[in-house]
Copies of this chain bind each other. A is one copy, B any other.
Amino acid sequence: MATAAPLRSRKAQIDRTATALFRARGFAATSMRELATELGLEAGSLYSHIKSKEEILHRVCFGLAEAFFAGFEAATAATSAPIATQLRQAIEAHVRVLTRDSAASAVFLHEWRHLSEPARSEFLALRDRYEAAFRSLIQRGIATAELHAPDAAFATLALLASLNWLPAWYRPDGKLTPDEIAHRLADQLLGGLLNERAAMSQ
C-alpha cells in the first residue's frame, strides 16, 4: 500500500512525528489519533509498527542519552589535553547534539517524567551519570588551577542549565549556525570559569 520508496522506515517516521508533537503539546496532551492524523493514518494502524505510546517516548529519551554520552566521550578522549580544552569540546559536543535534533532534545529534557517505572529511574540514573561526568571534569580543572569556581557542583548545574535552555529558543533557520552557537556559548560559559592566566591560552 506504500506509494513510493519510503525515505525512512515507517517506524522512524512515527518516531519523528511523535517527537515533534510531544515537544509542541507535551507527551500527555498528545493523542495517538492526533499523531495518526499527522501521518495520514488511522489511530489503530500505528500499532502495526509500535507497541505503545510510551515505547516511542522511551526510544527518544534513551536514544538521546546515548548521543550525549557519545559526544562527551569523544570530547574528553584526549586525556592529556588541557582540562579547559576538554571542557570546551564537551560543551560544543553537547550543543551539537541539542541543535542536531532540538525537538528530540526538548522531549529528552522535559518529557522523561512520563516514563513509567523502571524506565524512569533508569533514565534519571543516566542523567545523573552524565552530570557527574561534567562535574568531575570541572573538579579536575579546579584542582589543576586551570579553572576557578567556588563550588564545582554549583558551576556544573549553572553550566548545563545554560546549555539545556537552548532547545527553547534555537531555530535551525536562525542567523547563527550550530557551530557558531556552540563556540559562542562555550566562550561565554568558560569565561566565568577560566583562570585569568589560563584564559590567555584559550
Cross-interface CB contact of A185 among B114, B158, B176, cutoff 8 Å:
B158
Set B25, B28, B165: member contacting A161, Cβ < 8 A: B165
| Segment at the interface with B among A6-14, A32-40, A58-66, A187-195 | A187-195
- Tell me whether A100 is interfacial, beta carbon within 8 Å: no
Query: How many residues on A have C-beta within 8 angstroms of the other chain's C-beta atoms?
Result: 33
**Nearest opposing residue in chain B for A24, CB measure:** B113
Given contacts A164-B165, A165-B164, contact A188 B155 (CB under 8 A): yes
Count of chain copies: 2
Q: Is A5 an interface residue (CB 8 A)?
A: no
Interface residues of A in 171-189 (CB under 8 A from B): 176, 184-185, 187-189
A29 close to chain B: CB less than 8 A: yes
Question: Interface with B: A81-89, A117-125, A132-140, A146-154, which one?
Answer: A146-154
Given contacts A25-B113, A26-B113, contact A158 B151 (CB under 8 A): no
Tell me the A residues contacting B by CB distance below 8 Å. 24-29, 110, 113-114, 149-151, 154-155, 157-158, 160-166, 168-169, 176, 184-185, 187-189, 191-192
